[in-house]
Amino acid sequence: MIAAIPLLCALPWVGFPVVVALRTRRSRSLDEQPADVPAPAPLVSVVIPARNEARNIERCVRSVLGTTYPNVEVIVVNDHSTDGTGDIAQRIAQGDARLAVLENPDLPAGWFGKQWACRTGAERARGEILLFADADTWHAPDLLGRAVNAMRARGADLMSVAGWQELGTFWERVVQPQVFVMLAARYGGTESVSRARKAEDVIANGQCLFVRREAYDALGGHEAVRGKVAEDLALAQLFWRSGRRVALVLGLDQLGTRMYTSLGELVRGWQKNVFAGGRESVPLGALGRAVYPFVLIATPLAPLLPVLALLLSPLGVVSGAVTLWAAVCVAAGLAFWVGVYRFQRAPLWYALLYPLGCAVLLYIATTSVLRGRRVGWKGREYQAA
């Protein structure tokens, strides 16, 4: 009976992987849709905002231009880059009339840079469907066709695609899965989002965001979310509140993204989002926003507690019951992370490093809370709305 007590106390740690698995099990994929679109295919305008993206822009643009979709225009908005991004895009444009490169006007007060660049591109775009794509993405030839068919099948006014996340370095493999698991635990699979009954349960992936032009213009476009750090989430919630159809779909074979490549980029990138952006999706109104900083910090802290208890156990600092509790929790954690890394097609031994990933995420969450709505990114400082 006494031995059962630590096992009962371990239920939250053991149950978390089960909850994540149950919440993500129902997801839809672009693979369900045909790649060919019945004629006449609507014009799709692909808008790519780019600020200092010299290492990514060529791969991104050439992958978009490699589409099998028959009716597309591509607009790169060079947002005052200092690393040659605009020159690379202009060189590609000389060989393909479907590509236009725009220089973004100076950033007005109250705007985030990405939203301003997206607005610049949208003003030039002629498409019935707009795709806002990040410069660090690559697109399979069948992405546009399958996505247009998916929008039609689901009657979606806003649809985003969750693609494959490339993890190339040690720190990417340690940290990125931590964030993705946290997001999966909060939002669930694609159908949890697509069938959400509350605005705070809706999210979108701004790396690949399709919108119907009519709905985008009617709701004010990116100007309506100009001061939001997580503009994709804010747009999805705006569409949902207006009664428009919002959908999320997997595209693991159609879209790839490599967001960050170093520990510094990982910290700065998520630091700007997890608090200032995450607070937009907190339930329970003012009460939820009040406790959100504590929940955010507790999320990576909780898995570290049993690890710490196990480390202290040989010193006789903790009791045998606590050691048993910690061992069960850590075993459950290892089993869960082996599954995560198997899905990510990464070496399974990275599962042993999940406490290190939690520690980095704890640092990111804590510093993000301390910064509040002050956000810095790519040489600019913002105050999130």
SS3 378: coil
pLDDT band at 4; cut points 50, 70, 90: low
What are the tokens at 213? 């032009």
DSSP characters over 185-203: HHH-SHHHHHT-SSGGG--
Mean pLDDT taken over the chain: 93
Q: Is the pLDDT of residue 20 over 90?
A: no
What is the end-to-end Cα distance of the chain in Å, rounded? 53
Polymer length of the chain: 385
Mean pLDDT within 371-380 = 87
Instruction: Compute the half-sphere exposure of residue 103: CA atoms within 13 Å on the CB side of its CA.
Output: 8
Q: How far apart are CA 313 and CA 307, in angstroms?
A: 10
Q: Is the pLDDT of residue 379 over 90?
A: no
Task: Please return the burial class of 47, using the count of CB atoms within 10 Å of its CB with bins 0-12, 13-18 and 19+.
Answer: buried
Higher pLDDT, 187 or 280: 187
Mean pLDDT within 236-261 = 96
In this structure, are residues 51 and 378 in contact, taking their beta carbons and an 8 Å threshold?
yes
Q: Give every CB contact of residue 94 below 8 A, 6+ residues apart in sequence.
A: none
Q: Is the pLDDT of residue 307 over 90?
A: yes
pLDDT band at 283; cut points 50, 70, 90: confident
* Tokens 């791969």, residue located: 59
- The 10 Å Cβ neighbour count of residue 71 is 18
Closest among 346, 266, 355, 263 to 308, alpha carbons compared: 355
Q: What is the pLDDT of residues 194-245, one digit of tens each?
A: 999 999 999 999 999 999 999 999 999 999 999 999 999 999 999 999 999 9
pLDDT band at 300; cut points 50, 70, 90: very high
- The 10 Å Cβ neighbour count of residue 141 is 15
Q: What is the pLDDT of residues 341-366, one digit of tens each?
A: 999 999 999 999 999 999 999 999 99
Runs of H (alpha helix) within 127-195: 143-154, 170-187, 190-194
pLDDT band at 10; cut points 50, 70, 90: confident
Q: What is the pLDDT of residue 377?
A: 86
